[in-house]
Chain A
Amino acid sequence: AQTVTQSQPEMSVQEAETVTLSCTYDTSESNYYLFWYKQPPSRQMILVIRQEAYKQQNATENRFSVNFQKAAKSFSLKISDSQLGDTAMYFCAFNNAGNNRKLIWGLGTSLAVNP
């Protein structure tokens, strides 16, 4: 079965500090895509970062970066210089390349950035 595990239901970090959210997944496919989405209190789901499984280089988007370990099936998200606006629910997800493209979701990590 394809699954995503986010082992940290809740986390908190002080403003301007760095925090890492963990995610592990399981799939037998070799070609897939990994995502981190954030859902702030407004409930708008926002794409944070995307990683192609065939790329060894870790994706980065400004203050957000990932540590992608394909062999370990691990895909953690690092948020640097945390800001109050980063307070949100963060979901890890992946889909298999191809026509399906349905996302397999983790249960989410609730991140609170404290002033």
Chain B
Amino acid sequence: GAVVSQHPSWVICKSGTSVKIECRSLDFQATTMFWYRQFPKQSLMLMATSNEGSKATYEQGVEKDKFLINHASLTLSTLTVTSAHPEDSSFYICSAIPTSGRASSTDTQYFGPGTRLTVL
């Protein structure tokens, strides 16, 4: 249980184009999802908290107009990188917290497999 998928697993795009990454909780509902960015051999950097039915909360220094987050349902959050540039190339990971279920699971983040974005 507690499976999270991401699509696509990798994407290559040209500079100036937009890219959408989907994050889905497959066997549970998630009111809250998180988007992270990870550079090689480093820890995860939280970009934003995605809340179903409301605006995302962005971490300091993250451009909300560049990284658009939509959490339209209890199982899907999307991250759109607008006007991507080479410096946006990175590994993006989402996570989700079960809305209900065992008490121990509702405080635990379950992670997707990540999306590698390369901007040429």
Contact = CB atoms under 8 A, between A and B. Distances in A.
A22 to B, nearest CB: 16
Interface residues of A, number: 22
Nearest to A99: B32
A44 B111 contact: yes
A45 B91 CA distance: 12
Contacts of B104: 50, 52
Nearest to A110: B41
Contacts of B49: 102
A16 interface: no
A102 B34 CA distance: 8
Given A33-B108, A95-B107, A101-B32, A44 B113 contact: yes
A25 interface: no
Interface in B72-120: 91, 93, 95, 97, 104, 107-111, 113-114
Q: Dominant SS at the B interface?
A: strand
B13 interface: no
B54 interface: no
User: What 9 pairs between A and B have smallest CB-CB spacing?
Assistant: A45-B111, A105-B43, A44-B113, A33-B107, A107-B43, A43-B114, A108-B43, A105-B44, A50-B108
11 contacts: A35-B108, A42-B113, A43-B38, A43-B91, A45-B114, A46-B111, A91-B43, A101-B32, A101-B107, A101-B109, A102-B34
Interface of A: 33, 35, 37, 42-47, 50, 52, 91, 95, 97, 101-103, 105-108, 110
Given A43-B38, A44-B114, A47-B108, 12 more contacts: A33-B107, A37-B111, A45-B44, A45-B111, A45-B114, A47-B110, A50-B108, A91-B43, A95-B107, A103-B34, A103-B109, A110-B41
